[in-house]
Amino acid sequence: MTSVLPEPQPTDRLESEAEFPRHPFDRWDDDKLREECGVYGVIGVADAAQFVALGLHALQHRGQEAGGIVTHNFGTGFHSARRFGYVRDNFTSTRLMETLPGGLAIGHVRYSTAGSKGRTEIRDVQPFFGEFSMGGAAIAHNGNITNAEALRRELIDRGSIFQSSSDSECIIHLMARSLQRDIPERMKDALRRVEGAFSVVAMTRTKLIGVRDPLGVRPLVLGRLGDAWILSSETCALDIVGAQFVREIEPGEMVVISADSGVKSYHPFEPRPPRFCIFEHVYFSRPDSIQSGRSVYETRRQIGVELAREAPVDADLVCPVPDSGTPAAIGFSHESGIPYGMGIIRNQYMGRTFIEPTEQIRNMGVRLKLNVNRALISGKRVILVDDSVVRGTTSRKIKEMILDAGAAEVHFRIASPPTAWPCFYGVDTPQREKLLAATMTEEEMREHLAVNSLKFISLDGLYRAVGEAGGRNPDRPQYCDACFSGEYPVEPADMIQRGFKLKTAAE
């Protein structure tokens, strides 16, 4: 193996929490499942960091807690910046962007799932960087490693020193211990040890690398802009820079992209039937993205159509819970013939208005972000269409607001099956006992929410909406739907070690 002089470590001289405090991201909305992150990478443009910042802005819905960018410049080496808060509040600064030169860059937006809970340190913000004998490499990871605790114990016992609480750092340490001669081969070695779900975007001095786990649980797409290549969690982040969508990275595929050789494809894992996360279609992905060859918007509209067929109700108005319930409400209205109306209006600027709210303001809860259109609601029998019910806290508050505005009846229609099981593949899910559907029947949930009716789309109905005409194949499910079915395609080893009980035959 040829040794080279180590390149400069990423420049983190501005990354103090005192100088860059946390952004108060949606702290009032505690009743939604949270995606943990989005990843983005660019090779072959003059100012790659500018393109990555735009891509991360388009992926902001996948993580609002923090973001980071790493670049490489042949004259000055690697550079990085990591910040708490929104992309628009950090990576639009000329002063900051001038510290990120180079034609190769990757980036990450984060909402924490594994590692530090409740308080993320700057050291947990990705991309992570490692210096190897053949040069440096940075890595950004979307997903969750279900055997991370076991890997971390093993690596620490062998002398590894961890700098963060993130499960993603295990990949860097596994790469460091590989005996392979180049970084892509070391990454293959490392990822073969990893269990769970991952879409990885990484970079060396000359290469952009993308990898998807063997089941393809988390998304990753390839785009092109002239001679430049782009990797992204979603197609909407290709659109923002004017790039052409080329294709999805296949489950279990690794692509290695260089300016000289273009895209080379490898398949380092044993092939398995794919199990893409079905909740990407329901909630996580932006409606203007394409996932699994389907328009996310059209899928959500079709979910509303299926809901109207499965759970009709006599009412005067179909109203979405903004913004994620809107396409399903449109589909429900079209199929049922009941008029659609914006009965609830979202305040898009709530997060920037109340930087440090008083306790009195905080107790206003959901009213900070949603307001009822009284003139439309008063006297009506209202169908509220939402994407999911997790704890039920927000649903109860919205119901109370609708009744306070003079609604005659309130009916909930939910565009996903009951969320009864936690996700261990990269979604921030409460403990199972805190999930309403884990402890109550549908009728008990209706009584708990105190609404006139409550109906969820069936699992088969959801599968039909995403294009599976025959519904769900119980012997070989086409998607990962563990949060609804309790059937985990990858055994959550760490959680089982902690005492988590898998679904029994009786359940």
Domains and CATH numbers, the chain: 34-143+200-274 (3.60.20.10), 297-498 (3.40.50.2020)
Whole-model pTM over 0.75:
yes
Q: What is the pLDDT of residue 329?
A: 98
Residues paired with 132 in a beta bridge:
135
Q: How far apart are CA 160 and CA 295, in angstroms?
A: 44
Q: How far apart are CA 297 and CA 324, in angstroms?
A: 10
Q: What is the pLDDT of residue 4?
A: 31
425 close to 197: Cβ distance less than 8 angstroms: yes
423 is catalytic: no
Q: What is the pLDDT of residue 31?
A: 58
Q: How far apart are CA 267 and CA 402, in angstroms?
A: 53
Nearest CA among 24, 76, 22, 25 for reference residue 49:
76
Q: How far apart are CA 280 and CA 260, in angstroms?
A: 34
Residue numbers of the chain with a pLDDT score lower than 70: 1-36, 112-120, 349-365
Assigned token pair, 259: 């300016």
3-state secondary structure of 465: helix
Q: Are strands 128-132 and 135-145 parallel, antiparallel or unpaired?
A: antiparallel
Handedness of CA 486, 492, 498, 499 (dihedral sign): positive
User: Which strand ranges, in their side-by-side order, compose the sheet holding 453-456?
Assistant: 317-320, 381-386, 409-414, 453-456
Indicate which residue of 37, 236, 277, 319 is catalytic. 37
Longest dimension (CA), the chain: 78
- C-alpha 348: how far from its chain's center? 20
Q: What is the pLDDT of residue 300?
A: 98
3-state secondary structure of 353: helix
* DSSP structure class, residue 280: I
| Burial class of residue 447 (count of CB atoms within 10 Å of its CB; 0-12, 13-18, 19+) | exposed
Terminal CA-to-CA distance of the chain, rounded, Å? 55
Residues 6+ apart with CB under 8 A from 93: none
Q: How far apart are CA 53 and CA 168, in angstroms?
A: 21
Residue 245: which H helix or E strand, with range?
strand 244-248
Q: What is the pLDDT of residue 119?
A: 56
Q: What is the pLDDT of residue 505?
A: 76
Handedness of CA 65, 416, 454, 505 (dihedral sign): negative
Q: How far apart are CA 199 and CA 181, in angstroms?
A: 23
Rg (CA), the chain: 23
Q: How far apart are CA 369 and CA 367, in angstroms?
A: 5
* DSSP structure class, residue 283: I
CA distances from 446 to 241, 333, 431, 485 (A): 45, 22, 21, 20
235 close to 294: Cβ distance less than 8 angstroms: no
Nearest CA among 282, 274, 281, 152 for reference residue 214:
274
Q: How far apart are CA 63 and CA 143, in angstroms?
A: 12
10 close to 73: Cβ distance less than 8 angstroms: no
Q: What is the pLDDT of residue 429?
A: 77
CA triple 366-367-369, angle to 5 deg: 75
Give buried/exposed letters for 307-316 (b at 16+ CB in 10 A, else e).
bbeebebebb
3-state secondary structure of 1: coil
Q: How far apart are CA 473 and CA 482, in angstroms?
A: 14
Place of tokens 């943990």: 36
Q: How far apart are CA 493 and CA 147, in angstroms?
A: 5
Q: How far apart are CA 99 and CA 76, in angstroms?
A: 11
Residue 309: which H helix or E strand, with range?
helix 296-310
**How many C-beta atoms surround the C-beta of residue 75 within 10 A?**
6
